[in-house]
Amino acid sequence: MKFEEFKITPEIKKNLEELGFKKPTDIQFKSIPPILKGEDVLAIAQTGTGKTAAFAIPIINIVQEQKGRTPDGIKAVVMVPTHELAIQITEVFNKLAQYTGVKTFSLFGGVDQAPQIKQFEDGVDILVTTPGRMFDLMSQGHIKLDRVEVLVLDEADHMLDLGFIKDIQDVIKRLPKNRQTLFFSATINDKIKKLAYSLVRNAIRIQISPKDPVSKNINHSVAFVEMDDKRFFLERVINENPDKKILVFVRTKVRAERVTNALERMGIKSMTIHSDKEQQDRLFVMEQFRSGEVKILIATDISARGIDIANVDYVVNYDLPDVSENYVHRVGRTGRGMQKGQAISFCSTEEKEMLEEIESFLEQPIKTLDIHKGDYAQTIDISNEQHTDWKTLMKEIQQKEEEPKKKKKRK
């Protein structure tokens, strides 16, 4: 089946053609018809399967067909866990709605609310939002949800991980009872099932879950590297792939900054993204990485779901994730669509138990990269880092981290 065969408006078909959308992915093929019919949908699909377009296309069609026939107001709300995801989903909606006159707006905290309030005064058809700022503006009377006809919960599993369940339930209370609910999640467990079935009515259940939850387009492997040596092996991966876009995942915000500092000492430019950064800084970092101005991005799991950037060549799990499911979300940042991707994980002695949990979740072992003792030692010896002595290095790091604190005290 082709997109032109769907019962959607000519304007949307024109956009799809210009964007190079010809054949729907599995999740799009199975989701679009029931959403167009007004059915509730519960969809489980791994990252990179095209699920944003699976709900964006029919929602734009629904809103466009009602334009001028119903009173103005927000017709659809898409709730997401992160700022970055809100921005990216809004971009998809705007591209697909280019010729339709349907207005989509992304709402999130960390930025001045005045321009956001002005946007609501000018009119919004589809709202893509994180919970916090939405509740602020609702309590101030700037957002009204009485005309909402479609609610989408995207990355629902991650929203639960971040503790948004009460926020979701509070939103439901303010929406019209006679609405359509679309529930999209990359994973399914008892907790998610309970939430999903409390929201949807007679939902069409769609599950796109191949035996291997990691895309076939991704070549993933693991290298056994001790914790103190990981920076040298990251340096090697970067130097051996100078033109590649590399996304590096670490466990904590502190680790993210330390890895960036280590790369800086090696003469390698990188940037970090995590929840401690101001929203404007996060937007700047994403734009630098998206444009290729900076090719190395260090991220935490909080940001993992919000990073959907084309042409990420490598994902490096500098630290293995604490939650095995996050492995799939991390490596899914590469090998998207028809492109090939590489994912490599560094596993230290203390992380072997985590590796076993990940392999158990995947129901198969991850290919091991054998590193000869001589190669291991050489990787450390040829490093451009000035100090390989760990105690000296930690002292330098501590001094660097204390500098901002001292400046604040002086102020």
State the Cα–Cα distance between residues 289 and 325, nearest whole angstrom.
Answer: 25
Q: Are residues 339 and 313 in the same domain?
A: yes
Which three-class secondary structure state does DSSP give residue 382?
coil
Q: Are residues 127 and 240 in the same domain?
A: no
Q: Are residues 341 and 200 in the same domain?
A: no
Cβ-count burial 67-79 (b if 16+ within 10 Å, e if not): eeeeeebbbbbbb
Q: Are residues 228 and 128 in the same domain?
A: no
Domain boundary among 143, 176, 208: 208
Q: What is the CB-side half-sphere exposure of residue 16 using CA atoms within 13 A?
A: 23
Q: Are residues 229 and 346 in the same domain?
A: yes
Q: Are residues 201 and 222 in the same domain?
A: no
- The answer to whether the beta carbons of residues 246 and 313 sit under 8 Å apart is yes
Cβ-count burial 318-343 (b if 16+ within 10 Å, e if not): bbbbeebbbbbbbbbbbbbeeeebbb
Q: Are residues 199 and 273 in the same domain?
A: no
282-311 residue pLDDT tens: 888 888 998 889 999 999 887 656 566 778
Taking residues 80-86, report their average pLDDT. 85
199 occurs within a structural domain:
yes
Q: Are residues 90 and 113 in the same domain?
A: yes
410 occurs within a structural domain:
no
97 occurs within a structural domain:
yes
Q: What is the CATH number of the domain that holds 136?
A: 3.40.50.300
Q: Are residues 157 and 238 in the same domain?
A: no
- pTM for the complete prediction? 0.70
Q: Strand runs (DSSP E) across 279-338, as ranges? A: 296-299, 314-317
408 occurs within a structural domain:
no
Fill in the DSSP letter of residue 365.
P
- The answer to whether the beta carbons of residues 365 and 226 sit under 8 Å apart is no
State the Cα–Cα distance between residues 247 and 295, nearest whole angstrom.
Answer: 8
93-141 residue pLDDT tens: 999 999 999 999 999 887 888 888 998 888 899 999 988 888 888 888 8
Q: Are residues 273 and 338 in the same domain?
A: yes
Structural domain of residue 78, as residue ranges?
3-208
Q: Are residues 167 and 129 in the same domain?
A: yes
pLDDT of residue 151: 94
Q: Are residues 204 and 224 in the same domain?
A: no
For the chain, the domain total comes to 2
